[in-house]
Structure 1
């Protein structure tokens, strides 16, 4: 019988999602760009609908807004006449949307942990088997393999099961990891017509959702740094905005180290998303600033902290959203002192680099 091909007319796939789901996808993107301003996002959505006709006569923007209220995505904002604000359900949906966009579809794991190169008494079975050792638990014994060994060793008619017949399921030790994500909110993150803060926010939200779903034993702390540095909650990421700030990388690293000192796990790391060089220090009550070139006073303090992180065995992975050669030279020097890693990324590829490095760091360091 000859094999061949059967051809037919190509029918493009139809979008079978209901109107609400399609519009919700767009709304979650817009509300991230507007830093959590639901009213502005809905205005943008209405403008897009007028221009591209994304709704129809059966389901319009008004129906969508009403469904957002009914389904618990929006609340009335008493501080604004007729205004609306996001709910906790919306904030979680934004994180999930970012996870889908940046990391792809991931199934939630059981306990969620990171494997180490060591085996023994752990909390997750591997596919490997080994002989029984004193101290192994009954739950680890593979009865099927052990009974097969007994038949081979003693014969099918002999029902004895000795210690020499026993095989156990090997398990892998799991570890916890503590991560601090530093996000640059200096003014340059929106300069020159480029929106660099939205991709950085999406990465933070996606990383938080990844850890919640797949590595719930881990901790993720998020800090932002401009003239100063301060910690924010994961739920506040959609509302993050840049300010008229310089870049005080020293303050960010100092706060990151303070946070990690309180974490009990020995496995600690820092991710830093930035688009520029350090330009600011705080000396007492005054700020020392210099936006022209690489100021050695600022750079040396930053490198000193990189060395301190290395002594504490805390790797810093830097994601530089810039292509300037002299900025890359600084990051190279910073990375060498810290013995960390650096990536020079376009805005489009930033999330995939963070994901890859997060997974690789678990395998390599933990």
Structure 2
């Protein structure tokens, strides 16, 4: 029989992982927007923080910085110098051990030569280039210095070369020299703008073993080599002057007089010309105790550069930034597969928010909430308001007037309902519950037909958008109230006409999207006069509708509109401001509109003014707290319709 073994899925994202929680994401977006953030900044904030079970960009960036700090904290860049010094000391010790038992004067002369070697590692290695070693072990250690330098010098510019070339013999040197000649010729032709497609293919066919990353074009080859060469330059810049001089001197001895060093210098010059945008002059401070060789140091510098680039991608701070810009493969290289999964989930969340038609681009290029997203926010706001209404002992009115016209939908009967029973639905529920035998009705079977009244209302909701609303924490409750009322009118009282009017220094009629995305700004003035003027204009456009005017404010009028359209502000309010506002109150009263003012806060001057408005206009004053504002406004709207 065949046997099967099951394990953790490792080839990319988990196919059984739950999808992105769009509802939670939409709730978070809505909360940020309601607090005054733009949709674009709200989306950035959501992606920055993430969601439960999905780490955000901040978490990924924090892991990047920890990885970067660990590289610099653990390592130092003088590993090649230390290794060369160790091999040199090993060679000298073995040579002296071989010379010591020899009584010949030639042995003493050799010892004198060894004692007179310069203190510097590079100078000592150079002095011993022509020395005739008596000890085979000493000769082997010295030759390993040259091999090591050759490997490190190549590994510094060609990733993985140290592992690929265990020994560097004369044949290897010839192959390297031939590859560098062909590479420099290819890059020089590319720099002149020549067509190098065939030359590149020929080059890779002959020298592909030197390039384990397997580039497919000349540009990919240049990108890889330039990034490595720039990292090598930054590594040298990070050394002390003494260390840099020692390595430069040792590098000249790596391949003897083969000319490889000159070819590498020419390669660096070509790469710098082709990719001047690389960081050729940077440096970094390493403070650890684990030494790195030339190749490892260049890789460490390349890792630091890649970490910096990833941090910039995750910051999403440039115009048009998208999470698809993040190099997930680089993220996996630096932080592991789990980080790649987290980045893909965030990118998926961003794509789904756009694909689900929750965000769209405005004509000016900015992001905004779509009508679908606004409906979701309105639904949530209304649900919260109605829950508050029920908690206060008031029952939701599902009818829009007294005529009781059927709308075609049904719902389960609740205690106190006066709508007619829907007999077919009620009987069907009883049959489904009790089977095909004797049918016995139960209260749970009853469904009633929903009705809608034929009366219409012209509703003007005027909301204060002065700075005090933001400062005193009333901004979000005000927006949530407007959303709830808008959703109620659009879904349950579709024949009503709702106008949303904001008033600060000036008043303006806005749609629900503009109000939801409105940001609080420092602006002095509470121009209720202008707001009531716009409300009256809305009421006059609907002469056959019941006028309903609702005002939410936390301050007395301190501005009014002049005939030329300018707003005059003064605090304390001018008598002219109060007078012009009362004129509009009287005008609305003549149109049959009783103004309900929702007074926020305990300002005695505001209380005095709104009492005057209630007496003059036959309206009333409601003083809810911030949490009860939505319930108060919606209840008053329903009360006004019931009164009709």
**What TM-score do you get using the length of structure 2 for normalisation?**
0.41
1:30 aligns with 2:316: no
Matched, 1:183 2:463: yes
* Deviation (angstroms), 1:40: 1.2
Larger radius of gyration: 2
Give 2:506's aligned residue: 228
What is the alpha-carbon distance in structure 1 between the residues aligned to residue 464 and residue 349 of structure 2? 35
User: What is the CA deviation profile of residues 157-196 of structure 1, one whole-angstrom value per residue up to 9, with x for unaligned ones?
Assistant: xxxxxxxxxxxxxx996311111111122232223xx332
* Partner Cα separation in structure 2 for residue 223 and residue 79 of structure 1: 24
Q: Whose helix fraction is larger, Structure 1's or Structure 2's?
A: 2
2:126 is aligned to: none
Q: CA RMSD in A?
A: 3.1
Give the C-alpha shift of residue 124 in structure 1: 4.2
Match of 2:599 in 1: 320
> Does structure 2 retain, via aligned residues, the 8 Å contact 1:222–1:231?
yes
Question: In the alignment, which residue of structure 2 is the partner of 1:123?
Answer: 405
Distance in 1, Cα, partners of 2:20 & 2:452 = 44
Instruction: Structure 2: give runs of 5+ residues left out of the alignment.
Output: 1-17, 56-337, 390-397, 408-417, 421-450
Measure the CA separation in 2 of the matches of 1:287 and 1:113: 41
Q: How far is the alpha carbon of 1:309 from its aligned partner? A: 2.0
Picking from 612, 634, 640, the partner of 1:355 is: 634
Q: How does 1:1-366 map to 2 (within 5 A)?
A: 19-35=21-37, 37-49=38-50, 55=54, 60-75=345-360, 84-104=367-387, 114-116=400-402, 123-124=405-406, 174-191=454-471, 194-243=472-521, 244-285=523-564, 286-292=566-572, 294-364=573-643, 366=644
Q: Is the 8 A contact 1:278 1:299 kept in 2?
A: yes
Cα distance in structure 1, aligned partners of 2:374 and 2:602: 32
In 2, the alpha carbon distance for the partners of 1:18 and 1:66 equals: 10
- Give the whole-Å Cα distance in 1 for the aligned partners of 2:575 and 2:362: 48
Gaps of 5+ in 1: 1-15, 107-111, 129-170
| CA distance 1:266–1:38, change in 2 (3 Å) | closer
> What SS does structure 2 have at the residue aligned with 1:174?
coil
Mapped partners of 2:40, 2:453: distance in 1: 49
C-alpha distance 31-339 of structure 1, shift in aligned 2 (>3 A): same
In structure 2, the partner of 1:156 is none
3-state DSSP class of the match of 2:401? strand
Structure with larger RCO (C-alpha < 8 A, sep 6+)? 1
- Taking a change above 3 Å as real, the CA distance of residues 127 and 280 of structure 1, as seen in their structure-2 partners, is closer
Paired with 2:633 and 2:452, the residues of 1 have a C-alpha distance of: 25
What is the aligned partner in structure 2 of residue 143 from structure 1?
Answer: none
CA-CA distance at 1:78 after TM superposition: 8.1
Q: What is the alpha-carbon distance in structure 1 between the residues aligned to residue 361 and residue 559 of structure 2?
A: 40
Q: Is the 8 A contact 1:316 1:341 kept in 2?
A: yes
What SS does the corresponding residue of 2:627 show, helix, strand or coil? coil
Identify if the C-alpha distance between structure 1 residues 19 and 319 changes in structure 2 by more than 3 Å, giving closer, same or farther.
Answer: same
**Cα distance change on mapping 1:221 and 1:113 into 2, 3 Å:** farther
* CA-CA distance at 1:54 after TM superposition: 5.3
- Judge conservation of contact 2:401–2:453 (CA < 8 Å) in 1: yes
1:237 to 1:223, Cα distance in 2 relative to 1, 3 A: same
Q: Is the Cα–Cα contact under 8 Å of residues 208 and 220 in structure 1 kept in the other structure?
A: yes
Structure 1 distance, partners of 2:601, 2:453, is: 39
Distance 1:26 1:305, change over 3 A: same
In terms of mean alpha carbon deviation, does 347-356 or 277-286 score higher? 277-286
> Is the contact made by 2:554 and 2:600 (CA closer than 8 Å) also made in structure 1?
yes
Q: Distance in 2 between matches of 1:185 and 1:105?
A: 24
| Greater strand fraction, Structure 1 or Structure 2 | 1
Q: Deviations over 1:80-119 (max 9, x none)?
A: 6xx744333223322223223333499xxxxx75223xx6
The question of whether the paired residues in 1 share the 8 Å contact of 2:547 and 2:591 is answered with no
Q: Deviations over 1:283-336 (max 9, x none)?
A: 2335332122x4322122222322232232101111122211221121111111
Aligned to 1:342, what secondary structure does the other structure show? strand
Q: What is the rounded CA distance, in whole Å, between the counterparts of 1:173 and 1:87 in structure 2?
A: 30
Native 8 Å contact 2:560 2:581 kept in 1: no
Equivalent in the alignment of 1:150? none
Indicate the SS of the match to 2:454.
Answer: strand
Aligned to 1:167: none
Q: CA deviation at 1:199?
A: 1.7
1:18/1:99 CA distance change after superposition, 3 Å: farther
Residue 161 of structure 1 is matched in structure 2 by none
Instruction: Report which stretch shifted further, 93-102 or 58-67.
Output: 58-67
**Distance change (3 Å), C-alpha of 1:263 and 1:47:** same
- Contact persistence 2:556–2:605 (CA under 8 A): no
